[in-house]
Amino acid sequence: IAYRYIMNNPYKSEEVPELVAWRIAMNFGSQAQNPFLTTLDNVKKVALNTDGLGQSVLLKGYGNEGHDSGHPDYGDIGQRLGGADDMNTMMEEGSKYGARFGVHVNASEMYPEAKAFSEDMVRRNSAGGLSYGWNWLDQGVGIDGIYDLASGSRVSRFADLSKEVGDNMDFIYLDVWGNLTSSGSEDSWETRKMSKMINDNGWRMTTEWGSGNEYDSTFQHWAADLTYGGYTSKGENSEVMRFLRNHQKDSWVGDYPQYGGAANAPLLGGYNMKDFEGWQGRNDYAAYIKN
């Protein structure tokens, strides 16, 4: 208990207890399934159905042509979705209903169509070839994370995003950070640098893997989305850590026997994401509200 007086408190972690209704609004493959103003309408519906419970909406595919397109051009707000004007309208109006918004970004790999793509920033393997990443649309190419940090390219791209969204956006979701397959240098030192860069823009830090950023992240996707991903990266399973930080993070291993944790136990609480805006094909609004 005494340690709480000196421990690190993740930026904006005081918001976490109020964020009861987490979900992902998905756009993919140039289809603009959930334009920004449609997402705003859904915020209003959820507020009406829940008497205004706090909502946290992750915009997965907010930029370029949707999810995993155009990384890492953070300031390239999707025109098919309504552009920066509609995005800001969504966030400004949505905040009146208790909603906070964040965007999915990638700092580990980049795509050929991105304006930020450069020969200097590519990561290469020991044979001199490109280090490849995800490839379900265009082939992702690994980012040299140290170059990205030291050159100022990354901070400049976040500044581009900040110019577009002002003070309206609440958090950044940093995808795949810590898997070491793309940028290759995502250790604790660089992770702290990343968190500071994000926090300095006024954004809370969230990420994907349970082990990706214990120090500063307030949400780990795989921990809260119990049916998504494998058990080895499911969340943080330290009982001591949970005793200290249960009120600050949605990051704990789910209540599945094979996971060995109790994120949605009756006394401690926790979340099992359902969604209804396309992530993992989920579209059942009634199931989301019931959950």
CB 103 within 8 A of CB 173: yes
**Cα(253)–Cα(68) distance, rounded to whole angstroms?**
26
Structure tokens at 23: 């979900």
* Active-site annotation holder among 73, 148, 175, 190: 175
d(CA 91, CA 99): 8
Residue 141 to residues 7, 9, 47, 131, Cα–Cα distance (Å): 37, 34, 40, 6
Give exposure, 113-129, as e/b (b: 16+ Cβ within 10 Å): ebebbeeebbbeeeeee
Q: Which amino acid, 262?
A: A
Active site includes 175? yes
Q: Is 216 a catalytic residue?
A: no
Q: Is 243 left (phi over 0), alpha (psi -120 to 50) or beta?
A: alpha
For residue 271, the one-letter residue type is Y
Give me the residue label for tokens 């995800």.
134
Amino acid letter, residue 167: D
User: Measuring CA to CA, how many Å separate 75 from each of 41, 72, 113, 173?
Assistant: 24, 9, 14, 15
Residue 157: its H or E element? helix 153-165
SS3 content of the chain, % helix, strand, coil (to 5): 35, 15, 50
Q: Which residues contact 188 (CB under 8 A, 6 or more apart)?
A: 215
Catalytic residue among 73, 109, 144, 208: 208
In DSSP terms, 23 is beta-bridged to: 57
Q: Which residues are catalytic?
A: 175, 208
